[in-house]
C-alpha cells in the first residue's frame, strides 16, 4: 500500500489573519490520494477546497498560516525550502485553474506559454519546447495544433483556452493534477467536453487527480473517491458509490438534492441547501452545519461530531451518520 500512496495529508489546517479576525479556512483535514486515482473534493464556495489545494502547493499569500503534515512522494511538503518546492510545482503537482481567461498571459502566444512551462523544468531548446507544445495541443484536442501554437489567448474560445491550460499543466508529466473548478467558468455546452479531455489526459498520463468542484453531478462518473467539505472540514469521504448511495451525511444529501435533474417531472422550484455557508471567522458552536441541517438536534448544537466510520474507507461527520433515514436520491444521480 505504501507504494501506492502519492499524497498523504494529516491534520492540515490553514488560517488567515485578516483585519476582521482570524479566518479558519481549513480545519484539521486528513486525506490521501493514491497513484492514478481521481479524488473529487466537493463543497460550496467557502468550504475550504481551494485553500486546501493552495496550501499543499504552498501558493498562499503571506498572511496564511498552515499547520499539519503533508507528504508528497515521501517528501514533507510543508517543510521544503522554496527552491525545492519550485521543483515540485509543475513537475510533481500541477494545477488547472478555474478561469482560462485569466490563467493565460495575454501578450504571449499559447505555444510560447506552453513552451515556457516546459522550459521551467527541462533544459531543452526553444524549438524543441515548441514542438512539444504542438504535441500537447494535439493531445488536448485542439485542431491544427501546428498553426494554433502561434495564436494568442484572445484568439481562442473559452473551451480552447482551457484545453491550452490543461496542456500547460501536463507539460512536465506531473504525478498529481490539481484541477480547481476546471469547468466552472466555461459554457455549459462545453463543460462535459473539457472534463472529458481532462479525464482522457489524466488516464493517458497515469497521473492522479484532485478534482475540486461544487458540482456533484459532474464528478459522479469520473471520480474514484469523493471527499465532501463544509466549513473547512471534511464532512464525508469514501468511494464515490458509497458516498452517493449511502446517504450517511445530511450535508451531502442536501448537496445532492440541489443537483437539477432532467427526469424529474415536477414543476417545483430547484432545491437548494437552505441558509448560507457559515462565516469562517465565527463558526457556529458544535457541528458547523447544524443551523442548516434538517436533522439537527440538541447534541449538534453543543458537540462537534467526529468522523464516524460508515464502511470500509467511508467516514461521515455526523452524530447520526449510521442512523439517518433511507435516502435514494444519490443512487438516482447515476454514480
Partner 1 sequence: MTELKGRPDTPLEVEEAPMDEAEGLVIVSRSFGRQTWDRFRRHKLAILAGVVLLIMTISFWAAPALSPYGFEEITPDFNQGPSLEHPFGTDDIGRDLLVRTFKAGQFSLLIALLVAVLTTVLGAVVGAVSGYFGGAIDSFLSQVINLFLVVPSFIVLLVVAVKWGSNPTGIAVLLALLLWTSIARVVRGVVLQYKEQEFVLAARAAGAGSLRILWRHIIPNTFGPIIVNATLLVGVAIILESTLSFLALGVRPPTPTLGNLVDAAKGDIDSDPIRVLIPGGFVVLIALCINFLGDGLRDALDPTTRRVRE
Applying CB under 8 A, the residues found at the interface with partner 1 are 57, 59, 86-91, 94-95, 97, 99, 102-109, 116-117, 120-121, 141, 143, 147-148, 150-152, 154-155, 157, 159-160, 165, 168-169, 171-172, 189-190, 192-193, 196, 262-263
* Residue 291 DSSP code: G
Cβ closest to partner 1, residue 23 vs residue 115: 115
Least separation in angstroms between residue 120's CB and partner 1 is 5
CB nearer to partner 1: give 165 or 229.
165
- Beta carbon of residue 25, minimum distance to partner 1 (angstroms, whole number): 17
Strand order in the sheet with 38-42: 93-96, 176-180, 208-213, 38-42, 225-230, 233-239, 314-317, 307-311
Could you count the other beta carbons within 10 Å of the beta carbon of residue 107?
9
Cβ atoms of residues 56 and 30 within 8 Å: no
* Class of residue 6 by CB neighbours under 10 A (exposed 0-12, middle 13-18, buried 19+): buried
Nearer to partner 1, 44 or 196 (CB): 196
- Closer by beta carbon to partner 1, 47 or else 191: 191
User: Measured from the CB of residue 67, what is the shortest distance to partner 1 in angstroms?
Assistant: 22
Q: Which is nearer to partner 1, 192 or 299 (CB)?
A: 192
Helices (H) and strands (E) in the chain, counts: 12, 12
Query: Cβ 31 to partner 1, closest distance in Å?
Result: 20
113/316 with CB nearer partner 1: 113
Q: What is d(CA 161, CA 155) in angstroms, rounded to the nearest whole number? A: 9
Distance CA 190, CA 61 (A): 32
Q: Quote the CA–CA distance of 275 and 264 in Å, as a whole number.
A: 24
Q: Cβ of residue 102: shortest distance to partner 1, in angstroms?
A: 4
CB 117, min distance to partner 1, A: 5
Strand partners, 39: 210, 225
Contact (CB, 8 A) for 7 and 32: yes
Amino acid at each position: 500500500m505504501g507504494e501506492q500512496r502519492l499524497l498523504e495529508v494529516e491534520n492540515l489546517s490553514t488560517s488567515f489573519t485578516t483585519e476582521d479576525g482570524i479566518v479558519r479556512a481549513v480545519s484539521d483535514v486528513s486525506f490521501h490520494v493514491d497513484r492514478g486515482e481521481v479524488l473529487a473534493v466537493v463543497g460550496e464556495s467557502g468550504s475550504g477546497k481551494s485553500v486546501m489545494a493552495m496550501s499543499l502547493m504552498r501558493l498562499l499569500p503571506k498572511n496564511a498560516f498552515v499547520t499539519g503534515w503533508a507528504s508528497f512522494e515521501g517528501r514533507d511538503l510543508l517543510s521544503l525550502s522554496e527552491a525545492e518546492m519550485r521543483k515540485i510545482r509543475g513537475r510533481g503537482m500541477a494545477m488547472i485553474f478555474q478561469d482560462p481567461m485569466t490563467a493565460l498571459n495575454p501578450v504571449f502566444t499559447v505555444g510560447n506559454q506552453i513552451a515556457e512551462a516546459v522550459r521551467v523544468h527541462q533544459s531543452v531548446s526553444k524549438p524543441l519546447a515548441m514542438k512539444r507544445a504542438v504535441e500537447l495541443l494535439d493531445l488536448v484536442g485542439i485542431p491544427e495544433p501546428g498553426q494554433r501554437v502561434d495564436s494568442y489567448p484572445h484568439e481562442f474560445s473559452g473551451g480552447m483556452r482551457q484545453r491550452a491550460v490543461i496542456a500547460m499543466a501536463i507539460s512536465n508529466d506531473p504525478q498529481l493534477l490539481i484541477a480547481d473548478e476546471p469547468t466552472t467558468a466555461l459554457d455549459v455546452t462545453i463543460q462535459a467536453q473539457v472534463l472529458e479531455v481532462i479525464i482522457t489526459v489524466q488516464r493517458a498520463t497515469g497521473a492522479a487527480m484532485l478534482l475540486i468542484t461544487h458540482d456533484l453531478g459532474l464528478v459522479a462518473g469520473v471520480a474514484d473517491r469523493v471527499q465532501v467539505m463544509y466549513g473547512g472540514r471534511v464532512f464525508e469521504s469514501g468511494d464515490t458509490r458509497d458516498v452517493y448511495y449511502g446517504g450517511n451525511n445530511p450535508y451531502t444529501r442536501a448537496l445532492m438534492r440541489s443537483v437539477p435533474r432532467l427526469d424529474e417531472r415536477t414543476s417545483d422550484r430547484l432545491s437548494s441547501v437552505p441558509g448560507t455557508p457559515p462565516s469562517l471567522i465565527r463558526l457556529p458552536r458544535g457541528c458547523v452545519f447544524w443551523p442548516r441541517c434538517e436533522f439537527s438536534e440538541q447534541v449538534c448544537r453543543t458537540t462537534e461530531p467526529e468522523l464516524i466510520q460508515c464502511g470500509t474507507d467511508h467516514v461521515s461527520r455526523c452524530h447520526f451518520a449510521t442512523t439517518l433515514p433511507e435516502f435514494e436520491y444519490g443512487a438516482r444521480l447515476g454514480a
